[in-house]
Structures are given as structure tokens and as C-alpha cells.
Amino acid sequence: MSARIDLEAQYCAHNYHPLPVVLTRGEGVYVWDEDGKKYLDMMSAYSAVSHGHANPRLVKLVQQQVATLNIVSRAFHSDRLGPFLERACELTGLDMALPMNTGAEAVETAIKAARKWAYTVKGVAEDRAEIIACTGNFHGRTIAIVAMSDEAQYRRGFGPFPPGFRLVQYGDIDALETAINANTAAFIVEPIQGEGGIVMPPEGYLKAAAELCRKHNVLLIADEIQTGLGRTGKLLAVEHENVVPDGLILGKALGGGILPVSMFLAKREVMSVFQPGDHGSTFGGNPLGAAVGLEALNILVEEKLAERSAEMGAYLKQKLEAIDSPLVSEVRGKGLFIGIEIDPEKGSARAICEALMERGLLSKETHATVVRLAPPLVISRAEIDWAVTQIQEVLSEMDSMRLAS
């Protein structure tokens, strides 16, 4: 075991269970460990490194901005924030944005906006607003956010939780309609559930949900922290069903794999509920983050990374589906956002990820049964071919060991 791993185990809270590898540098789709071993990164930090590690345009931009102006707080204006938010609104079709840092902060911002909108615009009685979320969701880990989770571990030992959240079955449009009432402020939904295991809703679900929300004067808020910014083959995953939500949450790739940058975007009617003092963040919208975010958006568009994700994702999925292994029960996903479901009676997703790591491919298991593949969007066909070969050989080895035991 590495001395660095031991040191981390001694001083860092044990709130993660990482694979036993210590990474020291990255470039493009590759990372290297402390011994100089090279790995193909098929995780890209849960979609945060969509542009590739140490993207040259972003590195150059950061070097320039770091030497110019970084943090001033929102007590003052900066020359970087306006252009960043303008670009984000233009690309997403929404009117206004509120910049934050982490995805969880942006989700909290969306919750606050939805509640205040319910009271000041919709006319819901004070402290009665409800937000509907889905089973299997993952929107973050703050107390309010885990209040709308049904994952036992996320909740165990952290109560009491704030009220005002209801859960409906993901993908069940009838359940959503039944749950909506006069106090419903918003429906928050992931177009594809990432942490849930790359779970896809039925085709047409998001469009039907948007129509339901419009019918009942409920805000549709899309959490695209993981699925957004090209990951699924469109700039936004909601675009697969031609849906424009009332609110949109972005993060992860918005920081170009360099900084935590997030935002909540919404229609003007929703965002206008915020007045000075209602909400804020010392670091949210800082000049460095805004500069990185704008360049990250420009790279996505100019280098056609969403289109690349669609093409490479379809190729990867086709290659994975051609693997004949009794360990695999399903391959699902869109773009470069793919999950390999492992039959728990025949194999372990963790063991598969550990074996892939030994071969120089980094992925991570989800809920013990899914091998998640979400590489940087700059990955090539040759790199995909190599990755699929490693996956196929590991599955074959695992099956042989299973049959021999």
C-alpha cells in the first residue's frame, strides 16, 4: 500500500472508498500515478473533466487570469462575470443565471428560488410549498438535499430533515400527476440518473413532465450537473426531447475540470424573486471561475464536443453491447454517459473496476452493480477500442474464475 494512501487514511475522513491508486498528473484522456504508470481515465471526475485533463486553452486562460484578478466577492462587479452569464443564457435558452461553486450549492439555490417563487408568484401559503423529486435521485449531500433522497445511507444518522419534499417513482408520469397539488412549487429531475447507475427514464417522460408542470403551474427544474454540457450527445440532455425547463442546474464540466463552477439558470419570472441579501456566495461568480466557465463553454461549442460525444458514445455503446458475457445484464446510456449493469449473482462491479485499474483503465462502480463509463469528451475511437478490449478481457477472466470456483 502506498505511503500516500496510508497518510490520507490517517488524516482524511473516511467518507470515500477510492480505488487504491495515487494520481499525480493528467493530460487529455490520460492520468499517471506516483510510479509513472499511465491510465485511461474513463470517469473524468464524474463528468467534470469533459474537456480533458489540462486542456491547453483552459490552462493558458487560467495562467493569464490568475496573474490578473481572482477573487473580489460579489460586493463588487467584475469584468468577467457578465460575459460568462450572457453566454450561458444564450446557449441554454434561459433568461438569467445565479453563479455558485459546487453542484450542491446550485441545487440549494434552485430549491430556494422555487420556494420563494411559489410564495410570491404562485400564491402558495407561507411555509407550505412542496418540491417533488424522484426515487433514486442524486442531487447532492447537504441536509436539505438528502431530505429528498431515498438512499438510506445518505440519510442515516443525519436527521431530522426539513419538510417540504415529496418523492415519486422515476419515469412514472402518472405518479407525478398524482403527487402534484396546489402547494407544489417545482419538480426537480435528472434527465438521466447518474449516481443512480445511469438510469434512463422511458422515452417521452421529460416532455410529458414538462407538459404536466405547465398545466399545473409547477416549475420544471432539470438537474444537469452530470448530464449537461455535451455529456449525453447534446449540449443539454433535455434537448433529446426538445424540452426547455423553467430552471436548469449546471456544474461539473462548467469548471473545465479545473475549478468548481456551478450555476442555477431560470426564466426571468423565477429568478426575479431574488433581492439583494436573499442569497449569495463569497466565491460564486468570482473572476477566475467566470473566466474558466466562459472558456469551457466556448470550447464545447467551437470544438463540437457534444457532437463528438454523440458519435463516440454511439460507437462505445455498440462495442459494449457486442460483448457476450453472462456477467453483463444490460448496457445503457446516451452519448459518453454509459453504465454496464453487472449481475450481482455472477460478478462484482468493484472487482471489475479493480481489475481494470490493474490494466490501466480507471472507472468506478456505482451501487455495487454498475460500472460507469464517462470519459473525457475528447476520447478517440482508438482509445475506445483499447478500453473495450480491456473490459472484454476482464469480464472473460471474471467469468472463468466464477465457473472454476
Catalytic residues: 138, 223, 252
Calculate the alpha carbon distances from 130 to 24, 93, 187, 189, 218 in Å. Answer: 45, 26, 9, 14, 10
End-to-end CA distance of the chain: 28
Asked if 289 and 261 count as a contact pair (C-beta separation under 8 A), the reply is: yes
150 CB neighbour count, 10 Å cutoff: 14
In one letter, which amino acid is 208? A
Calculate the alpha carbon distances from 126 to 130, 164, 185 in Å. Answer: 11, 12, 12
User: What's the CA gap between 128 and 257, in Å, rounded?
Assistant: 39
User: What's the CA gap between 308 and 306, in Å, rounded?
Assistant: 5
User: What's the CA gap between 355 and 361, in Å, rounded?
Assistant: 9
**360 contacts: CB under 8 Å, gap ≥ 6:** 37, 38, 39, 40, 390
User: What's the CA gap between 165 and 183, in Å, rounded?
Assistant: 11
3-state secondary structure of 254: helix
Q: Which residues of 165-191 are buried (b: 16+ CB within 10 A; e: fewer)?
A: bbbbebbbbeebeebbeebbbbbbbbb
In one letter, which amino acid is 182? A
Asked if 173 and 117 count as a contact pair (C-beta separation under 8 A), the reply is: no
